[in-house]
A and B are shown apart, each in its own frame.
Chain A
Amino acid sequence: MIALSMQINGRAVQVQAETSSLLVEVLRGPLALTGTHVGCDTAQCGACTVLMDGQAVKSCNVLAVQAEGKSITTVEGLAEPGQTHPLQQAFMDCHGLQCGFCTPGMLMTAACLLAKNPQPSEAQIVHALEGNLCRCTGYVNIVSAVKQASVAMAGGAA
């Protein structure tokens, strides 16, 4: 076991982990942040996506030690406490989720996209979501929701 320090959702956190531990195991285990999900073994489904220093990463493909000193944002920290993030609102408005299992990963991937490219084209949204699998929605309403959020975040009417 080694001691790791990182920022999780804006708070300094110390956590013990094995050198072989994956970031997602530390998030879901000792840190009890179970909003980040595990859906595959091969970094295909993207349900485990979190932000590491603002970059969307698949936390099943990142060792916990790689997060040392980094700032991690999970779905639990997407919105300010008590607030609803425009992406969360848009997913609700657009029926962008059904079972909800892939949703945290979709939200975090989209958050990364909108931070870097606040007004993405539909093609850019689709490209950004290429590494996130959804079996329920057919992606129709997910793409609509990301579009709506980009408009809302730009201050326009959705």
Chain B
Amino acid sequence: MNAPVEAGRFGSGQAVSRIEDPALLRGQGRYTDDVAMPGQLHLAFQRSPHAHAQIVSIDVAAAAAMPGVRAVYTGADLVAAGVQAIPGPGGFARPGGAPAVSAPRRALAHERVRCVGEPVVAVVADSAEAARAAADAVWVDYTELPAVVDPFDAMQPGAPVLCDAAPDNIAAEMRHGNVDATAAAFARAAHTITLDIDNQRLAPSPIEPRCVLAWVDAADGRLNLRLSSQMPTGVRGSVAAALPGLTPEQVRVQVGDVGGGFGMKTGIYPEDIAVAYAARALGQPVKWRAERLEEFLSAVHGRDVISRGELALDADGRVLALRVHGVANVGAYASGTGVAIQVLIGPWVQTSIYDIPCIDFRFTAVMTNTATMGAYRGAGRPEAIYITERLMDAAARRLKLDPAELRRRNMIRPEQMPYKNPMGQTYDSGRFEQILDQGLALADWQGYAARREASQRRGKLRGRGIATFLEWTGGNVFEERVTVNVSADGFIELGSATQAMGQGIATSYAQLAVDVFGVPIDRIRILQGDTDRVNGFGSAGSRSLFTGGSAVSVAATRTIDKARDLAAEALEAPAKDLEYEAGRFKVAGTDLGIGLFELAARQPDAAIQVDSTSSVGGPTWPNGCHICEVELDPDTGEVALAAYASVNDIGRVISPAIVRGQIEGGAVQGIGQALCEHVVYERETGQLQSASFMDYALPHADGFRDFKTAFDTSIPCKTNALGVKGVGELGTIGATPAVVNAVIDALDAAGLGASAERIQMPVTAERVWRALKLREMDASPYRA
């Protein structure tokens, strides 16, 4: 078989088997907990049983005397040793302009605990069982303090205060837009819509719990960390900053297989620092693997913002202005990520694909006695888009317009590209009406009445919901470094600081490399997850393919350019006369040539090496039209998805099977928010009531799977040479409003009218049953 044809079967645009799969399917993955070091010790935490308390005293004597125990550490020990707290929300401001604040988030709580599950004592022992038993034997004397878990309660005068510098518990606040112009638009509007919306707190819940293994290399004294992380370089810097006497160069972070990330594994955790500290102090490898309970208690949560959204429209349904006040619960310790997501990143897309001339946004980040908030798939964009899409549906209901038509009237038109939205964000490309039309066709929008009647005949209440939307991707870090090593043994290794976490990025990179090198895909190896090899921002915000992938493509091309010069020397021919095809340079019009790997063998290190750094021009703006139909059971309130169609613009598609998996798997997470997932703290005590997979309802296999998923690849991104747009979060963002709008449509048709818009997520069978049978709707979660 002809070599280039063979190789091309594995290039971009082809549905290839993932290169990750064979090892994972044979049980040969290398997740952190699969790695054991000789002499490895185990660490266990005792965690706070209280939501808010003063630590009076800690008695470790009994624990320290237990068999197998090597060390017991308290927060006071770590403070005395000079261990630093994790930095708070720098760069933001409180109302009035003072810097944003947080109480210090420490590896182990010192003097005070501020949420249930906060690590208080760390015990290191010979076995995990011994460590756990000894951690339970530590006696901590607490004086309980009043706790607050609701952000509106927390802002009331006299509420428990988490951080002295913020007596109102407001960590940060941002205002965007024009208050007066928006007020004027509302004053002259033909219609105004107000919705109070709870984007409830979620647990990201990758199935692999966090795990950290730390050791000091006996040869060079450097601290080594192996952990499950999306951002190894960031973890390296944070560990070096937290532990005394360490520079980043003295720390090596390695990441093997990652069992799901979803944003939850993007930054340093207190536990990481405690494990690293113990390994240095004891001079032996130390491992901690989180139990699922610990994940619910102390891994970051996502969402949790209560908003009042208001829309002003003219008589024709053109939006005149959008006003949003969001109150975000950022947890006990405000983190930079947790704050930025709610006060800045979400607002960037709040006006979405609509040409809205006027905005007035206020976003308030409030600290409460709950787990720290961080990134979860979409991170701010799902919250913002959910609010906007709920408002668009409510407006269509008020104006008695088809919800697709109301959206169409407000969409940014292709000729407006590049379009700068009121938050100053510039969309490079997008044909939103074209996507809408395809979505309506795929969902058979016109044929809905017949399906609704069919449902009715079966005693079910059918509803239909639509979401048309876009999202921002990227982390606003556009530069990526890629190392290339073409070795004499016939392999091309590409190193990237972006991080695989199950999304199949190694396969996509390999496909891009095949495009340039023209060699079979099994000749390509992707190196990630080692800060001694490549450093960079890491993987978050759907940035890997458009930044990292673009950098892979550039690096591969630069490698061919360098190799061409080497081939010219080897063949004693002018470089301009050389043609490259399928792993071989040939002098044009002759049989004279040399293979790429043979060429590598002739080099001093038996390799051709390129260290390439390149940038893309900006973020990408993937967008879509997601349409969902649901059936409600009027007797039980149960919500069943009946149909789901989506048309997605992610620009050019590199790996068709992978992007479909991202959209559909992502949509199931969005459906989880719509229908079942909810982190619940008891309001009086601050105890976590959803602390296992028995109480926190993840979607199971019996949920909806019959997705119709399409891609419009005719609208390439203009800010990267590949023309790709991020895909990782799109499905999650679109699904939540599409599903809830469908439920509200069904409730409206069942006689609830616009009062159906008061239902909140998760739309459980109980909520729907109460709405249908008792006409009982949720009280507004928003308090002015």
> What is the interface of chain A, defined by CB distance below 8 A to chain B?
20, 28, 33-42, 44-45, 47, 74-76, 78-79, 84, 88, 91-93, 95, 97-104, 107, 125-127, 129-130, 132-143
Name the residue on B nearest A134 (C-beta): B207
Given contacts A99-B258, A101-B259, contact A88 B25 (CB under 8 A): yes
Closest Cβ of chain A: how far from B670's Cβ, in Å? 10
In the assembled complex, the Cα of A151 lies from the Cα of B633 at a distance in Å of 35
**Can you name 9 A-B residue pairings with CB atoms under 8 Å?**
A20-B129, A35-B29, A38-B289, A98-B665, A99-B257, A101-B31, A101-B208, A126-B701, A130-B700
* Most B Cβ at <10 Å: residue of A79, A100, A125: A100
Interface string of B729-768 (1 = CB under 8 A from A): 0000000000000000000000000000000000000000
Give the CA-CA distance A25 to B438 in the complex, in Å: 52
Indicate whether B205 reaches chain A with its CB closer than 8 angstroms: yes
Measured between beta carbons, the chain B residues less than 8 angstroms from A127 are 702
How far apart are the CA atoms of A133 and B699 in the complex, in Å? Answer: 8
Most buried by A among B501, B666, B705: B705
Contact of A100 among B502, B702, B705 (CB under 8 A): B502
Give bound CA distance, A33 to B29, whole Å: 11
CB pair B701–A142 under 8 Å, yes or no, is: yes
Among B2-32, those with CB < 8 Å from A are 17-18, 20-22, 24-29, 31
Contact assessment for B26 and A97 in the assembled complex, using a CB-CB cutoff below 8 Å: no
A39:B292 contact, CB within 8 angstroms: yes
B667, A45: Cβ atoms closer than 8 Å: no
Partner of A140, one of B18, B24, B206, B664: B664
The majority secondary structure among interface residues of chain B is loop
Q: How far is the CB of B625 from chain A (nearest CB, A)?
A: 19
* A91 CA to B26 CA, complexed, in Å: 11
Complex CA distance for A35 and B25, rounded to whole angstroms: 9
When the two chains form the complex, which single residue of A42, A76, A102, A139 contacts B207, counting CB atoms closer than 8 Å?
A: A102
- The stretch among B46-54, B118-126, B612-620, B690-698 that forms the contact with chain A is B690-698
Chain B CB within 10 Å, residue with most, of A45, A84, A129: A45
Contacts of B26 in A (CB 8 A): 35, 75-76, 78-79, 88
Complex alpha-carbon distance, A141 and B658, angstroms: 11
Among A76, A136, A143, the one with the most B-chain Cβ atoms within 10 Å of its Cβ is: A136
Partner of B260, one of A34, A42, A101, A130: A101
**A138 contact from B205, B208, B667, B702, Cβ within 8 A:** B667
Q: Is B21's CB under 8 angstroms from A133's CB?
A: no
State whether A103 touches B25 (Cβ < 8 A). Answer: yes
User: Which residues of B lie under 8 Å from residue A34 when comparing CB positions?
Assistant: 27, 31, 33-34
Contact, CB under 8 Å: B207 / A104? no
Which residues of A are found within 8 Å of B660, using beta-carbon distances? Answer: 95
A40 to B205 CA separation, bound complex (whole angstroms): 10
Which residues from 207 to 221 on chain B have a C-beta closer than 8 Å to any C-beta of chain A? Answer: 207-209
CB distance from A107 to the nearest CB of B (A): 7
Residues of B in contact, count (CB < 8 Å)? 54
Given A41-B692, A135-B205, are A141 and B698 neighbors across the interface (CB < 8 Å)?
no
The smallest C-beta distance from A34 to any residue of chain B, in angstroms, reads 4
Per the bound structure, the CA–CA distance linking A91 and B257 in Å amounts to 18
Assembly CA distance A38 to B289 (angstroms): 10
> How far apart sit A151 and B661, CA to CA, in the bound complex (Å)?
22
Collect the chain A residues with CB atoms within 8 Å of residue B664's CB. 137-138, 140-141
CB atoms of B661 and A95 under 8 A apart: yes
Q: Are B206 and A101 in contact (CB under 8 A)?
A: yes
| A95/B701 in contact, CB under 8 A | no
Question: In whole angstroms, what is the CA distance A45 to B698 when docked?
Answer: 10
Interchain CB contact (< 8 A) of B27 among A33, A38, A141, A142: A33
Q: Is the CB of B260 within 8 A of A136?
A: yes
Q: Is the CB of B702 within 8 A of A42?
A: no
Q: Say whether A41 contacts B291, CB under 8 Å.
A: yes
Residue B668 at the A interface, CB < 8 A? yes
Q: Which residue in chain A gives the minimum CB-CB distance to B34?
A: A34
Residue of B31, B206, B258, B693 with most chain A CB atoms under a 10 A cut-off: B693
- Indicate whether A107 sits within 8 Å of B657 (C-beta atoms), given known contacts A42-B292, A98-B502, A101-B207: no
Residue of A nearest to B262 (CB): A135
Query: Taking the complex as formed, is B669 at the interface, i.e. its CB lies under 8 A from any CB of chain A?
Result: yes
Q: In the bound complex, what is the Cα–Cα distance between A141 and B17 (angstroms)?
A: 13
B703 within 8 A of A: yes
Q: Which residues of A contact B257 (CB under 8 A)?
A: 99-101
New contact pairs (10) apart from A134-B207, A138-B667, CB-CB < 8 Å: A37-B33, A92-B18, A92-B25, A95-B660, A98-B260, A98-B504, A101-B207, A130-B702, A138-B703, A138-B707
For residue B34, which residues in chain A have a CB less than 8 angstroms away from its CB? 28, 34
Select A39's contact among B29, B209, B657, B658, beta carbons within 8 Å: B209
Closest B residue, CB atoms, query A34: B34
- B22→A136 contact, CB < 8 A: no
Does B293 touch A at the CB level, under 8 Å?
A: yes
Contacts of A76 in B (CB 8 A): 26-28
Whether the Cβ atoms of A135 and B292 lie closer than 8 Å is no
Contacting pair B260 A135 (CB below 8 A): yes
Q: Which residues of B contact A42 (CB under 8 A)?
A: 292, 692-694
Q: Which residue of B21, B27, B504 is within 8 Å of A104 (Cβ)?
A: B27
